[in-house]
A and B are shown apart, each in its own frame.
Chain A
């Protein structure tokens, strides 16, 4: 998607507001005083180096981890996300980095896990149809939805995890590296999907290491570094600024590499 989207801030209402969130794992402070706002109809990209605390933040929002301190407001009201089911019930759907699928169950069972139709008499046909619809929307290449998830490739599993997050009709979607394992067409499909979801007025938090993807869809880019907020950027801020915010220095391995490459092949420097 090469087109430059007008990232006019949709200025929807504030759905999710984090204030001073900290999370300690024993002696490790994974998160320190994190603030984060997510509006309806807005895509917030969360970037940072490995171990910056992105996944930990997502898990706090998904109710998997409890924050050591800080407050979370959802739709204006303070909430305590004590378990994954409270987050799900509020309308916060998550695609985890480690996907969290049950390998022994088939694709349909995984997509509907915990939200099966007709608890006393599972509607297998209905669930299978809905599963195919969701997967087709994502241009999934999945041979059969009745095979155990263990038989799927990494990207297919990621698609299943994304399909699962869409099932609920959530208000906020948290995507932890949703495109890391995806092919070209599937990545484009997921980015399209993120835009469609934004148009429907959902808040989206996307984690990615791919700056191109981030610039393509994000309305705001929030940088985490060593578990702390390290700046908020717009998609048209320079690569230089972003990289130095992420790595914490203007003189870093990324800019040095770029400099070396520019010096050795000056002819190719001026491509877009």
Chain B
């Protein structure tokens, strides 16, 4: 091919700024304006959740001043982490426009397997955990097999799995109904007590901002060198400072009582890893493509079936991990584990956080944001001594609102040509 486009004589507009029809907002005011027009066209991102969270926190704080206390927030983070991990798996299957309705049962089964193998059969704890995780992975592979080779909709296969694996959980636990995990074991303290030393939490918070700045700076430098528009140093610095200040403040507040749970640290690490995988790897790109248009993905040479397989396996494995962490949190593997609202909370969290039910759109942070919304509601209602009947109704309503926002913003994106 000829390379007339490769040389860029001096004074020529930047490679991606040559079309005079496009408005490019510069500077800080410009970023705000661009963000606003993006929101208006239906690309809401995490905005609805953040607004919702502020409202929820304000209301509960007014009703009960304990709500925003450092201690209650630390508890909230412990609770969020277990179901949050499950929700992270849901993000994966939603990304390829599938669903897993059995994550609750799979998490319960995993906790039962851990309990039986570790406490009753005397396996080393790590081996019991690995076995439970492996069962989760196999379950995901089974769903993928049913979907890929028989065309069984995941809605149906996982609904069948919901019952079947609940049955398996009850069978494993037998007539006793529950197994207590030893209180002094590392697994249980990890799930109930362990928090980061202050210096670690402050350090990690600072690292987050510095990491953000360094990667942003490197990208901007490369883009500028290549003749592409790039983010300004001031804007990068401003972002990093805001992130550091915000996270350090949260850490400082939590450190006033129990501190930042290691369990939550694990959850955040998983969220960051998933975010990287979805945004910056070929696998993540393929996941989005398959969720958006499986036939186009196939014609581009993407191994579509393998992508579905990876999504289902990741989801069930993370569900199993969530179940194990949940067992550690409660120091028991019981018949109730993974039942009730676990399933729905995990799915609701992903959707509330902004991962679309229609596939191909969303990110790992939605699991984090969504689960904090859900656990905030749960914690606030518990503090108000409201019965679980009311809690279910309110959580149900919040899920409905989230799905409505998802559907409306999808419609708006279509009419603004951003589907």
Chain A residues with CB under 8 Å of chain B are 62, 64, 83-85, 88-89, 94, 96, 100-105, 109, 113-116, 119-122, 124-125, 128-129, 132-133, 136-137, 141-148, 150-152, 166, 196
Q: What's the Cα separation between A249 and B282 when bound, in Å?
A: 52
B300 pairs with A100, CB closer than 8 A: yes
Question: Top 7 A-B pairs ranked by shortest CB distance?
Answer: A136-B5, A85-B301, A104-B292, A119-B282, A114-B300, A151-B417, A150-B419
Kindly list 7 other residue pairs between chains A and B, CB separation below 8 angstroms, not including A120-B282, A125-B228.
A105-B289, A105-B360, A125-B222, A133-B3, A136-B5, A144-B22, A166-B1
Asked whether any CB of chain A lies closer than 8 Å to the CB of B184, the reply is: no
Interface digits, B1-36 against A, CB 8 Å rule (1 contact, 0 not)? 111111000000001100101100000000000000
Q: What's the Cα separation between A148 and B417 when bound, in Å?
A: 8
B419 pairs with A144, CB closer than 8 A: no
Smallest distance from the beta carbon of A199 to chain B beta carbons, Å? Answer: 11
A102 pairs with B301, CB closer than 8 A: no
A113 pairs with B289, CB closer than 8 A: yes
Q: Which of B112-142 contact A (CB under 8 A)?
A: none
A122 pairs with B15, CB closer than 8 A: no
Q: Could you say which of A96, A104, A137 has the most chain B C-beta atoms within 10 Å of its C-beta?
A: A104
Kindly list chain A residues whose C-beta atoms are within 8 Å of the C-beta of B15.
129, 132
Q: Which of B265-312 contact A (CB under 8 A)?
A: 280-283, 285-286, 288-289, 291-293, 295-303
Interface majority SS (helix, strand, loop, mixed), chain B: loop
Kindly list chain B residues whose C-beta atoms are within 8 Å of the C-beta of A114.
286, 289, 297, 300-302
Q: What's the Cα separation between A104 and B227 when bound, in Å?
A: 26
- B21 and chain A: residue at smallest CB distance: A143
B280 pairs with A148, CB closer than 8 A: no
Q: What's the Cα separation between A183 and B301 when bound, in Å?
A: 30
B222 pairs with A103, CB closer than 8 A: no
Chain B residues with CB under 8 Å of chain A are 1-6, 15-16, 19, 21-22, 219, 222-223, 226-228, 280-283, 285-286, 288-289, 291-293, 295-303, 360-361, 413-414, 416-419
Known: A84-B300, A88-B301, A148-B418. A105 touches B228 (CB 8 A): no
CB contact between A122 and one of B4, B222, B282, B418 (< 8 Å): that residue: B282
Pairs A–B under 8 Å by Cβ, sample size 13: A84-B298, A84-B299, A85-B303, A100-B300, A101-B296, A103-B293, A113-B297, A120-B281, A125-B226, A128-B223, A129-B226, A133-B3, A196-B2
Interface majority SS (helix, strand, loop, mixed), chain A: loop
Q: What's the Cα separation between A64 and B2 when bound, in Å?
A: 31
CB contact between A151 and one of B19, B300, B418 (< 8 Å): that residue: B418
A101 pairs with B293, CB closer than 8 A: yes
CB contact between A150 and one of B222, B283, B299, B413 (< 8 Å): that residue: B413
CB contact between A105 and one of B6, B288, B301, B416 (< 8 Å): that residue: B288
- A166 and chain B: residue at smallest CB distance: B1
Smallest distance from the beta carbon of A136 to chain B beta carbons, Å? Answer: 4
Known: A104-B288, A114-B286, A122-B282. A128 touches B419 (CB 8 A): no
Q: What's the Cα separation between A148 and B43 when bound, in Å?
A: 11
Q: What's the Cα separation between A110 and B3 when bound, in Å?
A: 22
Smallest distance from the beta carbon of B96 to chain A beta carbons, Å? Answer: 12
A96 pairs with B222, CB closer than 8 A: no
Q: What's the Cα separation between A150 and B291 when bound, in Å?
A: 15
Q: What's the Cα separation between A186 and B288 when bound, in Å?
A: 30
Kindly list chain A residues whose C-beta atoms are within 8 Å of the C-beta of B280.
121-122
